Amino acid sequence: KQEVTQIPAALSVPEGENLVLNCSFTDSAIYNLQWFRQDPGKGLTSLLLIQSSQREQTSGRLNASLDKSSGRSTLYIAASQPGDSATYLCAVRGATSGTYKYIFGTGTRLKVLA
């Protein structure tokens, strides 16, 4: 059974810092992995999607990497801003789990201090 873990659960950093959020999964047989952002009391917004054949994806100040064999992904945020404060979730789609089903981690709650 796939399990997704995100460490740390919460993180507080000063504005301008580069930071790394971690995601690990127990079953390396994945189809792809997504990173999402969730603002308090809101729905999720997809940030990056990495296919199992890819090593990384970039969007603006965000870079996500995937090491499928070791069951890990990282989300790198460059030059953090207060507007980046949110909960970040990763989710994996298993290669054999069926149609478009994702297992989510519990998220990392990020606070960027001005």
Partner 1 sequence: SQTIHQWPATLVQPVGSPLSLECTVEGTSNPNLYWYRQAAGRGLQLLFYSVGIGQISSEVPQNLSASRPQDRQFILSSKKLLLSDSGFYLCAWAAGGTDTQYFGPGTRLTVL
Among 18, 46, 70, 81, binds partner 1 (CB under 8 A): 46
Among 10, 15, 17, 42, binds partner 1 (CB under 8 A): 42
Residues 84-103 that bind partner 1 (CB under 8 A): 89, 91, 93, 98-103
User: How far is residue 107's CA from residue 48's CA, in Å, rounded to a whole number?
Assistant: 15
Can you say whether the dihedral through the CA atoms of 7, 20, 45, 65 is positive or negative?
negative
Is residue 13 within the footprint of partner 1 (CB under 8 A)? no
The least CB distance from residue 1 to partner 1, in Å, is 13
Closest CA to 30 of 60, 64, 75, 70: 70
Number of residues that bind partner 1 (CB under 8 A): 24
C-alpha to C-alpha distances, 103 to 57, 78, 114, nearest whole angstrom? 20, 26, 33
Q: Dihedral sign, CA of 62, 76, 103, 1?
A: positive
By the rule CB under 8 A, 26 interacts with partner 1: no
Cα(87)–Cα(114) distance, integer angstroms = 17
Q: Which is nearer to partner 1, 57 or 65 (CB)?
A: 57
**Positions in the binding site for partner 1 (CB under 8 A):** 4, 31-32, 34, 41-46, 49, 89, 91, 93, 98-107
